[in-house]
A and B are shown apart, each in its own frame.
Chain A
Amino acid sequence: MVKYILKRLALLIFTLFLVITATFFLMQIMPGTPFNNPKLTPQMIAQLNKAYGLDLPLWQQYLHYLVNAFRGDFGTSFQYQNQSVSMLIGQRLPISAQLGAQALVVGVIAGLLMGAASARNKNNKIDGLLGVVSTLGISVPSFILGIIFLYLFGFKWPLFPVSGWGDSFSQSVLPTLALAVTPAAVVTRFVRSEMIEALSSDYVQLARAKGLSEKEVVNKHAYRNSMIPVLTLIGPMAAGLLTGSTLIENIFSIPGIGQQFVSSIPTKDFPVIMGTTIVYALMLMVMILITDILTAIVDPRVRLQ
């Protein structure tokens, strides 16, 4: 197991190297320059280029970036002067991550409960109702839900604050719910179909033939087996949620990383774009690694390979 994790970590570093390389050269292809203020004289631009090391040959720039990136230094933002990219990300990522983690926990737990309830009541009213709810949850985008939640619970019945972050936990309730609906719906549908399959499997029949009650059959046999494929779904979902939602952050005025990522693109803030992309990639890979480790814990068949 330890050997397996080490192997995966080595692979992760190699993938990270590929991501850094690809982002670096893609940035070079991008047209335009960050220094497009008409007030800048050519001498000033030359000075800026020198200050940021943009006058060096490309391969030197690349090596520089690569070495620094592995040290955790993604350079200095063009947009916010004197702010290092690592610091910017360090300020904003935890906010997005907290929101995402809350949404993930709420969404996954709701999905597991609703999916199992749906499967156990297959083809009756409860299943039908949950089917409608989960279809709506998947098809209505989170920003529309965000606006609806804002109107209903922030304005019509002012139960929660409508914007801001960090002053009180109640500020995070509405964005968490808005973000949690889609994962909850996806997990519900997935768990439903996995659970239906598990409940009709031979080993569940055998468990019933042992004289176990339906509750024991579901909790001891069906749940664990239907969790295995669900885990593979949750990994990438977690990465997506933890790295922030641009739209939800904008609607609820949350100073998260998603908001900053988008604003850095039109201003051609290359270091911020690259830094954020690399952090996103890293988080996705770490989440997938964690998922695989969890899968190995749940599924003995994976453990031995």
Chain B
Amino acid sequence: MSNPILRVENLHVNFNTYAGTVQAIRDVSFDLNQGETLAIVGESGSGKSVTTKTLMGLNAKNAVIPENSRLLFKDKNLLELSEEEWQHVRGNEIAMIFQDPMTSLDPTMKIGQQIAEPLIKHQELSEKDALARALELMKGVGIPNAEEHINDYPHQWSGGMRQRAVIAIALAADPEILIADEPTTALDVTIQAQILNLMKQLQKQSNSSIIFITHDLGVVAGMADRVAVMYAGKIVEYGTVDEIFFNPQHPYTWGLLNSMPTTDTAEGSLQAIPGTPPDLLEPPLGDAFAPRNSYALAIDSKEEPPFFKISDTHYAATWLLDERAPKVTPPAQILKRWARWEELQGQEA
């Protein structure tokens, strides 16, 4: 497992706008191992989508990436690729599943042809062979009576079926990394589960790695091996899925977990995180989450917290983990999670 296929090192992405420079990604580093699923979690504006676009080389023209940022994939730094070299990577070595199946298929092109397109481009198949392979892919993603539907247009299909087609397009050229940008957000819940199961099953077959972008922690629990929590263009906590769910350390992770409905919270209202994310035109000094954080310390507004190690796989950037920090009591729900963590540890020992 400890064989990173992708290394993101000190990634910064800035956007030059009329109002000034928006620092969308501020020093993000992570590894992605062969065959694993890494979930990147955060609310809107946390930089999840910019991260995916950067990994696909599809950022807007006004994006500026400083030279010390590196995206290492198969011994090459993706950020140094020419547009032509990028075209070889996109859809071939790194592919993407889009969020909204209702708008991400071309309404004027037959679905079979849309699936065949990356095959014609990357594997240089003839149109006939590519369509034959597209049919196999359609069967592989569970489209019933695929032969009859290969010449359908997107509007003839339901959202769930279209998302299967989008997945088939992403899988067409057998990519090593699959980036899924909220692939189930636009689907209703029963279809969500089907699509997630399909993705897991397909990953097992191909041993590809998945970067799973979402704001839905419920989805993360079933899908991911590891989780990175992003806030205001930074990763604030990362660890295995159990570590994030049962031993969370960053107050922002607490907030996210608290705002997720569970069977324990059937009564009363959901706990939202107060306030809004900061303006990344002028990111605040210190910990960006401090203004919304009821556990904030004085130092949070002055100095940025470094990553504190909790285990070999679990790190969190919060001053609460500093030995000089006062011990705080997290919300009741988090305490329950911690208790469950103790149990899990006990079972292992």
* A-to-B contact residues, CB < 8 Å: 201-203, 205-214, 216, 220-221, 224-225, 228, 298-301, 304
* B-to-A contact residues, CB < 8 Å: 56, 58, 83-84, 86-92, 95-96, 98-100, 103-109, 117-118, 121-122, 153, 155-156, 166, 169, 173
Contacts of A221 in B (CB 8 A): 106, 109
Contacts of B89 in A (CB 8 A): 211
Quick one: which of A202, A220, A299, A301 contacts B100, CB cutoff 8 A? A202
- Do B58 and A209 touch (CB < 8 A)? yes
Contacts of B104 in A (CB 8 A): 202-203, 205-206
Question: Given known contacts A202-B98, A211-B121, is B106 in contact with A301 (CB within 8 Å)?
Answer: no
- Do B103 and A202 touch (CB < 8 A)? yes
Contacts of B155 in A (CB 8 A): 300-301
- Complex CA–CA separation, A225 to B107 (angstroms): 8
- Complex CA–CA separation, A224 to B99 (angstroms): 23
Quick one: which of A209, A212, A301 contacts B107, CB cutoff 8 A? A301
- Complex CA–CA separation, A297 to B106 (angstroms): 15
- Complex CA–CA separation, A283 to B58 (angstroms): 47
Contacts of B106 in A (CB 8 A): 203, 206-207, 221, 224-225
- Do A212 and B117 touch (CB < 8 A)? yes
Task: Return A199 CB to nearest CB of chain B, in Å.
Answer: 12
- Complex CA–CA separation, A221 to B107 (angstroms): 9
- Do A211 and B90 touch (CB < 8 A)? yes
Task: Return A177 CB to nearest CB of chain B, in Å.
Answer: 33
Quick one: which of B87, B88, B95, B98 contacts A205, CB cutoff 8 A? B98
Quick one: which of B96, B107, B156 contacts A203, CB cutoff 8 A? B107
Quick one: which of A212, A224, A298 contacts B87, CB cutoff 8 A? A212
- Complex CA–CA separation, A302 to B156 (angstroms): 12
6 A-B residue pairs with Cβ-Cβ distance under 8 Å, sorted by A, are: A202-B98, A205-B58, A206-B96, A212-B117, A213-B84, A301-B107
- Complex CA–CA separation, A289 to B295 (angstroms): 68
The A contact surface, by secondary structure, is helix
Contacts of A210 in B (CB 8 A): 90-91, 95, 117-118, 121, 169
* 8 other A-B residue contacts (CB within 8 Å) besides A202-B98, A224-B108, A228-B108: A202-B104, A205-B58, A206-B96, A209-B56, A209-B96, A221-B106, A221-B109, A225-B107
Question: Given known contacts A211-B121, A301-B153, is B105 in contact with A206 (CB within 8 Å)?
Answer: yes
Task: Return B207 CB to nearest CB of chain A, in Å.
Answer: 21
- Do A211 and B107 touch (CB < 8 A)? no
- Complex CA–CA separation, A205 to B105 (angstroms): 10
Task: Return A227 CB to nearest CB of chain B, in Å.
Answer: 9
Contacts of B95 in A (CB 8 A): 209-210
- Complex CA–CA separation, A205 to B103 (angstroms): 10
Interface centre among A201, A208, A213, A225, by most chain B C-beta atoms within 10 angstroms, is A208
- Complex CA–CA separation, A216 to B83 (angstroms): 14
A203: nearest chain-B partner, CB-CB: B106
A200: nearest chain-B partner, CB-CB: B60
- Complex CA–CA separation, A224 to B107 (angstroms): 10
- Do B103 and A211 touch (CB < 8 A)? no
Interface centre among A212, A224, A304, by most chain B C-beta atoms within 10 angstroms, is A212
A208: nearest chain-B partner, CB-CB: B58
- Do B103 and A209 touch (CB < 8 A)? no
Quick one: which of B86, B121, B122, B166 contacts A206, CB cutoff 8 A? B166
Task: Return A201 CB to nearest CB of chain B, in Å.
Answer: 7
- Do A211 and B87 touch (CB < 8 A)? yes
Contacts of B173 in A (CB 8 A): 211
- Complex CA–CA separation, A212 to B56 (angstroms): 12
Task: Return B218 CB to nearest CB of chain A, in Å.
Answer: 25
A204: nearest chain-B partner, CB-CB: B106
- Complex CA–CA separation, A219 to B248 (angstroms): 50
Contacts of B166 in A (CB 8 A): 206
- Do A211 and B118 touch (CB < 8 A)? yes
- Complex CA–CA separation, A207 to B108 (angstroms): 13
Interface centre among B84, B95, B117, by most chain A C-beta atoms within 10 angstroms, is B117
Task: Return B73 CB to nearest CB of chain A, in Å.
Answer: 15
- Complex CA–CA separation, A61 to B122 (angstroms): 73
Task: Return A212 CB to nearest CB of chain B, in Å.
Answer: 6
- Do B88 and A206 touch (CB < 8 A)? no
Task: Return A303 CB to nearest CB of chain B, in Å.
Answer: 9
Contacts of B100 in A (CB 8 A): 202
Contacts of B92 in A (CB 8 A): 211
- Complex CA–CA separation, A205 to B49 (angstroms): 13
Quick one: which of A209, A216, A225 contacts B108, CB cutoff 8 A? A225
Task: Return B189 CB to nearest CB of chain A, in Å.
Answer: 22
Task: Return A2 CB to nearest CB of chain B, in Å.
Answer: 21
